[in-house]
Amino acid sequence: MLLQSEIRNNSEEIIDRMKVRNIDITDIVEKIIALDKRKREIQTRFENNQHEIKESSKVIGELFKSGKQADASSLREKTATQKEDNKLLSEELNRLDEELLEQMYHLPNIPNKSVPVGKDDTDNVEIATWGNKPDLEVAEPHWEIAKNLNLIDWELGVKITGAGFPVYRNQGARLQRGLVQFFLDRAVENGYEEINPPLLINEASGYGTGQLPDKDGQMYHTERDHLYLIPTAEVPVTNIYRDTIIKEADLPMKNTAFSPCFRREAGSYGKDVRGLNRLHQFEKVEILQVVHPHESYKALDQMVDHVKGLLESLELHYRVVRLCGGDLGFAAAITYDFEVWSAAQEMWLEVSSVSNFETFQANRLKCRYKDADGKNHLVHTLNGSAMALPRIMAAVLENNQTKNEINIPKALVPYVGFEKINK
């Protein structure tokens, strides 16, 4: 969430920067400024009344003591009126706070100045590549490989739950588990504390990281308990730091977590969502940092390098793209996507997003650090997929196939216990 003071003092610059996202926020900014002005006027009246009530209470006692009953009664009546006025002013302040918060919740983060202009993913900017496209003698898509080798049962998932909920079996289940452990071990080796978070969150947690109200329709919601299934471990792990003040010396805070992720993915149809390309339930290992604002872009580079290292260890041809304004997530100031090449589908598959949210989430979370002078400041939060499993598995199966077998990347062999899957 943006700061009200920032909108008040830099409204034109914010409106201009949001054009990178292809949105015009002029109306909402003007409404926020008007509400903010009204709130500050009422706050001033409320505080003036409070001051006068406090001072009058002293005078009333003195007047009674000195026998000036009429003056004391008159002043008491005035004070009673001021107290009633303040009741109404307090109610109005609460109403304005709610209305302001509602408006603020609908404003996305300000894009970093390095975010390119663009409408959608076709305008993203490639900034790095690694490896080469595999030269295959056969190129079966992963959904056929997985079905033929009994690695994933698509029909059983439909029977148990519905489309988008695959059942992993045999060496497919072991490959999935091995990937999770590989990603977690690498994160812990790089200084991330492992967290095992809840899979359900309350509404406050959803608002804290920016999933609500923006992604309300994409999240699974339990009506009776008013809880949400997590779309990513980012949400519960980041909310560890909600309503906290961190010592400056304790920064950065680094966490990693594995979890299933649940997303409705409404409106996702077509050939590009076959197999593991897009699911309602999938598994992911997440990395997260809470850092000093001066260190956040250094931390972003470190997280990007971490994901690069994972993909290179898996020997997967990948590219890194900087998202344009039109493709940038609601809460992100800047995002780098990692895409691996799918040899059988002949297309890039997104497997990771690494984002710097700057103070956007921290302001919602009320997460601050205390400096050496005892002053509190908002932290910066960062998050990255390290990594999302479905498309990684798809690329491992497709890019390492021969006529007779699927070769397992060497780095994974100790985690899965086999070097190949025979056809």
Q: Is the peptide bond before 213 cis (omega within 30 degrees of 0)?
A: yes
Distance from C-alpha of 122 to C-alpha of 210, rounded to nearest angstrom: 25
CB 176 within 8 A of CB 389: yes
* Cross-sheet strand order for the sheet of 334-342: 125-130, 318-322, 334-342, 347-358, 380-388, 281-291, 253-262, 193-195
List helix spans (H) across 190-253: 203-209, 234-238
In a domain, 278, yes or no: yes
Do 229 and 361 belong to one domain? yes
In a domain, 132, yes or no: yes
Which of residues 76, 105, 134 is at a domain's end? 105
Which of residues 47, 79, 105 is at a domain's end? 105
Do 282 and 394 belong to one domain? yes
In a domain, 20, yes or no: yes
Do 227 and 304 belong to one domain? yes
Do 224 and 97 belong to one domain? no
In a domain, 254, yes or no: yes
Give which of 120, 324, 105, 334 is closest to 214, Cα–Cα.
105
Do 168 and 287 belong to one domain? yes
Do 269 and 172 belong to one domain? yes
In a domain, 325, yes or no: yes
Q: How far apart are the first and last CA of the chain?
A: 52
| Number of folded domains that form the chain | 2
Do 92 and 139 belong to one domain? no
CB 351 within 8 A of CB 388: yes
CATH number of the structural domain spanning residue 393: 3.30.930.10
CATH number of the structural domain spanning residue 31: 1.10.287.40
Q: What is the largest CA-CA distance in the chain?
A: 108
Do 143 and 54 belong to one domain? no
Distance from C-alpha of 193 to C-alpha of 286, rounded to nearest angstrom: 11
Do 171 and 301 belong to one domain? yes
Do 347 and 409 belong to one domain? yes
Q: How many Cβ atoms are within 10 Å of 372's Cβ, its own excluded?
A: 7
In a domain, 243, yes or no: yes
Q: Is 58 exposed, middle or buried (0-12, 13-18, 19+ CB in 10 A)?
A: exposed
Do 165 and 298 belong to one domain? yes
In a domain, 112, yes or no: no
Which of residues 105, 135, 150 is at a domain's end? 105
User: Domain range spanning residue 232?
Assistant: 121-422
Distance from C-alpha of 387 to C-alpha of 396, rounded to nearest angstrom: 13
Look at the block and give the residue holding tokens 């780095």: 411
Length of the chain: 423
pLDDT at 76: 74
pLDDT at 269: 52
Do 182 and 291 belong to one domain? yes
Distance from C-alpha of 330 to C-alpha of 179, rounded to nearest angstrom: 29
In a domain, 275, yes or no: yes
Query: Tens-digit pLDDT profile for the chain (423 aa)?
Result: 999 999 999 999 999 999 999 999 999 999 999 999 999 999 999 999 988 888 787 777 666 667 676 777 778 788 888 899 999 999 999 999 999 999 999 999 999 999 999 999 999 999 999 999 999 989 999 999 999 999 999 999 999 999 999 999 999 999 999 999 999 999 999 999 999 999 999 999 999 999 999 999 999 999 999 999 999 999 999 999 999 999 999 999 999 999 999 999 754 555 567 999 999 999 999 999 999 999 999 999 999 999 999 999 999 999 999 999 999 999 999 999 999 999 999 999 999 999 999 999 999 999 999 999 999 999 999 999 999 999 999 999 999 999 999 999 999 999 999 999 998
